[in-house]
Structure 1
Amino acid sequence: MVYALDRRAMLGLLAIAPVAGRLRAAGAAKLTIATRHGMVRGRVEDGIRVFTGIPYGRAARFRPALEARNWQGVLDATGPASVAPQLPGMAPFAGRMGEDCLHLNIWAPTTAGPHPVLFYIHGGANETGWSGEPLIAGDRFAADGVICVTANYRLGALGFMELGDLLGPDYRGSANHGLRDLVLALRWVRANIGAFDGDPRRITIAGESAGGKNVGSLIGMPAADGLYARAAIFSGGGQTVHSMEQAQEFARLFAEKLGGADRLLSAGVDQILTAQKAAKAAWPHNFPFRPVVDGAALPMVPLDRIRAGLAPRIPMLIGSNADESRLFLPPAMAGAPLAPQSVANESMDRVAALDRAYARTFPDLSEAERHWRLLTAEEYGMPCLRVAEAHARNGAPVWRYRLTYPAPGGPFKGLAPHVLDVPFTFDHLQTQGMAGFFGLSAVDQPMADALHGAVVHFVRGGVPMARGLPVWPTYTPERRATMDLDTTPSLQIDPDGKERALWDAL
């Protein structure tokens, strides 16, 4: 039977096993590199240079982060990065948890550069996740000549809580501090990656789930313009943001659960996390920790900035999975009336109208199957499609995909749920966690070769391509060419036509 997990349990399970054999050091030599803040010492593992836990900024509660302080001597960048405060999952993090968490990790080839750079943003609903998760280790990218950077950013209330109404105008826009952290990290990368043989002119920002939504939000932030040359959005979008009124309403709910606004600056981290959990449970929408359209850092909904032609017209790779919502919605809930907590972007009135339209358009689906399809489109499929169409209409090169590859085993056998793309993207499918969760094994290596290889070619500055993939043309609103990543990948023309027309009509 297929069952569902919340994001925290899912991330914990995926992080249980280390990346098999790839991150073990065997007499690895130490390396020392000069950054603008001081010297760092890393290590070599299996022919890859690895630097972990490098501070790029300093976090102050509910305030914009500052640049990291310079340090004396040599910083040991061989231990795990710190972890942004979050509730515990199924497996403990290797790093120390604390508000001082603005660290990044680098995997770099040992060969001479300059190498292109993949700046990857972890997912986790903006309330969980870690830059050091083994599933997103960048060793396979570095083995293919791409420097991979993963960065922590503040999560939950500490990174995505709008407090201008409660703490005064100096705190207006505090719900964007998680994004500001990422901008600061990108500035650090642009200034320092040359020392690691990276090319600061070839930085691709990428992310999955909340990370993909945050990539969309960075495209909506003028402060991030010029810090990246390409973007890859995996199961994300460009519209999951709060209005100022919504953000203030959630902040008042959070302050109530904390015991009053006067405790915001003095409460301990454990108290903050307890209030987060209570506020989320009482909030009648999915994904409560999100950026806010404040008219400054985020002047408008990111999708609207793209539609208006104000966003950088950079090359983009974007797509989603066929059965995203299966991970979160168990059959019993899927077969019941849709709850607001399962909906990320639309009003419940519109969701009800869409549900009726789906019943008419897809009469052979059971109620549960219809709801899975609708919620997959609502949170991931349609937001990604809208970004692709808007960006392409402005003349930017866009390559779109749909992952329909069926998980070979585990609780989601035969489906392509949320997160299934990540082990393929990072070529980390042969781990104990992946075998148990999705049934992945060496048999599935051709899909890892295809998706990972396509991302590598894209980050290098070219068209996404790899052995096993047909020629992948750009997506245009007139033709809507989409790569179907199935057991036998194929190019499809407007594969979502019926569903897209349904959404456009309402």
Structure 2
Amino acid sequence: MMKLILSVQLLFSCVLGQVAEEGLTGRGLVSTTNGPVLGFRDHGIHTFKNIPYGADTANTRFQAPRRPAPWTEPKVCTEYGFIAPQPTGNDINGTVQNSRSSSIFMEGTGTVNDALYDGVRLAKTRNVVVVTVNHRVNGFGYLYLGGVSSDYQNANPGQADLILALEWVRDNIERFGGDKNRITIFGQSGGGAKCATLMAQPAAKGLFHRVWTMSGAQITGRTLEHAKETTQTVLAKVSGADNTTRLSALLNMSMEELRVVLSPAGNNYAPVVEGLTLPRDPFFPTANEQSRDIPMVMGNTYDETRNLIGGSNETLFNLTWETLPEAIERNVRQYIGNMTGSQIASDYRTHYPELSPSDVFFAATTAARSWKSMQVQLNIRVAPPHSPTWVYYLRWRTPTKEGAAHAFDIPLVFNNPSAMKQTAGAPGVGQLADDASLFLANFATTGDPNGFRGGKDPRDGGRKRDYWPRYEVSERRSMLFDVPVEVVSDDRGWEREYFMNEIYIQPGT
């Protein structure tokens, strides 16, 4: 029995795919709406890499993508294309008998070419079609030029890439054995934030039916004022008598030159609320009406900042009580409002006397930086009329100093723990990856991570799992990804309450 994974490199139009053998004919030739594509078999999986869903963006830099020109000869889709933001293209065709739910993964700022996002095991063990999407990121996808030229009034070409990819999936997924009425988008970090943004974009309405985010929230978008400030920072690095001349130079730069010019803006690239492609903030002051009934899973990890912050500063693993307050101030000042590093260090030391200074640092910065954003979005999401929402936290820790760090849930939901050195071969990781990937597959199939109520699933031999309840403010029950998985009420409630009194401002907006 073979299954399909479609991976769309949206930046310049790419779709990868792997599909069930019993439905494909011949050598795995599939006729898409753009033309025929040819894939290959690998370990019981039909795979299609680099299927174009959009045209080369070389002539539409910083603008919405265009559909690719149709072709008649089969495109051989056996190799990944260039990593974003460089142009790519290739596709595959096929016909499958059984209709499967389809899960579409959107990476943050990396590339879905990474082995971490290999969907072979997820497709093979969970009977789903897996699609991974590349698209324009950072300044390539979110530099706002509407204040310079009327040709760029429609902002957010990175989001437009994702919408075009979703349209491609809607029009073609059944040719690969998928179900166009059961499309799940899931993303991690920046990819999760982009999923949240899609929930507020009119052009994305009806293109997906469930959302699963991992360590990624997008409560507010960028204001036009701040987006224009970033644009001026970028244009100031370009030679020219005025902004019109500088824009022309920007459009004609090589990719290498453009990377240098875009870098001064740092991380200040995010979806812009310009009133057209994004008419309002995704989750402020309320959840968007168009996505209120869409089932959603939100997740985070216990030790987000052990690699997000600690990965670039080894000294943070050897803090003292004397150096701890300054380290907190330096790394999360924008997240803690009027609180001080000394106050946070003292309160955490009192509440968690067993923790070392470095343990306090990573616990406090994770709670202030990562958990709080999800909690704010979560509270808005589950306010009346109580949209269907489930929450998980990765508590299982790897036997490394990173513990349960940012992105360590990716190989688990992909059922691919060997793809990350920290999780490969770790005690209990096989069972946890089995649980996490089944929750995702159940969610994609039924709109509920339990699948069949009570946690039983005949595809897994009927093995009993804890029932994962919906998140309600009254009990705040969530699932802990651990060995074994466990349902708890108001996990780390003290930390949640501790930081919630400070106003949260979405970074970069």
Secondary structure of 2:39's counterpart equals strand
The separation in 2 between residues aligned to 1:210 and 1:307, in whole angstroms, is 19
Of 254, 261, 267, which aligns to 2:253? 267
* 1:289 to partner: Cα distance: 2.2
Of 474, 491, 505, which aligns to 2:501? 505
> Deviations along 1:171-208, whole A, 9 cap, x unmatched?
1343x110110011001100111111111000001001
Unpaired runs of 5+ residues, structure 2, are 1-24, 456-462, 503-509
Secondary structure of 2:64's counterpart equals strand
* 1:239 to partner: Cα distance: 2.3
- Residues 1:227 and 2:210 aligned together: no
TM-score (normalizing by structure 1): 0.81
Partner in structure 2 of residue 35 of structure 1:
32
* 1:240 to partner: Cα distance: 6.0
- Residues 1:320 and 2:309 aligned together: no
- Residues 1:212 and 2:192 aligned together: yes
The separation in 2 between residues aligned to 1:404 and 1:210, in whole angstroms, is 21
* 1:405 to partner: Cα distance: 0.6
Q: CA 1:184–1:133 in structure 2 vs 1: closer, same or farther (change >3 Å)?
A: same
The separation in 1 between residues aligned to 2:482 and 2:179, in whole angstroms, is 33
The separation in 2 between residues aligned to 1:207 and 1:388, in whole angstroms, is 16
> Deviations along 1:312-347, whole A, 9 cap, x unmatched?
42111111001101102235358463589955xxx7
Partner in structure 1 of residue 226 of structure 2:
246
Aligned 1:316-465 pairs, distance under 5 A: 316-330=296-310, 332=315, 335=324, 337=326, 342=331, 348=334, 350-353=336-339, 355=341, 358-359=344-345, 361-364=347-350, 368-393=358-383, 394-409=385-400, 411-412=401-402, 415-431=403-419, 434-435=420-421, 437-438=422-423, 440-441=425-426, 443-465=428-450
CA contact (8 A) 1:233 1:317 kept: yes
Partner in structure 1 of residue 470 of structure 2:
474
The separation in 1 between residues aligned to 2:328 and 2:257, in whole angstroms, is 28
Q: CA 1:155–1:457 in structure 2 vs 1: closer, same or farther (change >3 Å)?
A: same
Partner in structure 1 of residue 83 of structure 2:
83
CA contact (8 A) 1:243 1:293 kept: yes
Partner in structure 2 of residue 199 of structure 1:
179
CA contact (8 A) 1:119 1:205 kept: yes
Aligned 1:249-328 pairs, distance under 5 A: 249-259=229-239, 261=243, 262=246, 263-280=249-266, 287-304=267-284, 306-307=286-287, 309-328=289-308
Aligned 1:56-135 pairs, distance under 5 A: 56-58=53-55, 59=57, 60-85=60-85, 98=86, 100-101=87-88, 112-124=97-109, 129-135=110-116
User: RMSD across aligned C-alpha pairs, in angstroms?
Assistant: 2.7
Q: CA 1:29–1:336 in structure 2 vs 1: closer, same or farther (change >3 Å)?
A: farther
Partner in structure 1 of residue 492 of structure 2:
496
CA contact (8 A) 1:220 1:300 kept: yes
> Deviations along 1:375-407, whole A, 9 cap, x unmatched?
323443122223333222233211111101111
**One-letter amino acid matched to 1:444:** V
> Deviations along 1:271-313, whole A, 9 cap, x unmatched?
0112233442xxxxxx322111112211222112753545342
**Percent of residue pairs identical:** 28
Q: CA 1:134–1:401 in structure 2 vs 1: closer, same or farther (change >3 Å)?
A: same
CA contact (8 A) 1:173 1:294 kept: yes
> Deviations along 1:128-153, whole A, 9 cap, x unmatched?
x2222211111122212100011110
* 1:366 to partner: Cα distance: 5.7
**One-letter amino acid matched to 1:122:** E
> Deviations along 1:223-272, whole A, 9 cap, x unmatched?
11110010000111122632212211122112223445512111111001
The separation in 2 between residues aligned to 1:386 and 1:270, in whole angstroms, is 38
- Residues 1:136 and 2:117 aligned together: yes
- Deviating beyond 6 angstroms after TM superposition, the runs of 4 or more aligned structure 1 residues are 102-106
Q: Tell me which structure has the larger Cα radius of gyration.
A: 2
Q: CA 1:240–1:191 in structure 2 vs 1: closer, same or farther (change >3 Å)?
A: same
Secondary structure of 1:265's counterpart equals helix
Unpaired runs of 5+ residues, structure 1, are 1-27, 86-97, 281-286
* 1:41 to partner: Cα distance: 0.8
The separation in 1 between residues aligned to 2:288 and 2:175, in whole angstroms, is 37
CA contact (8 A) 1:52 1:79 kept: yes
The separation in 2 between residues aligned to 1:269 and 1:374, in whole angstroms, is 39
Q: CA 1:279–1:33 in structure 2 vs 1: closer, same or farther (change >3 Å)?
A: same
* 1:46 to partner: Cα distance: 1.6
The separation in 2 between residues aligned to 1:30 and 1:357, in whole angstroms, is 65
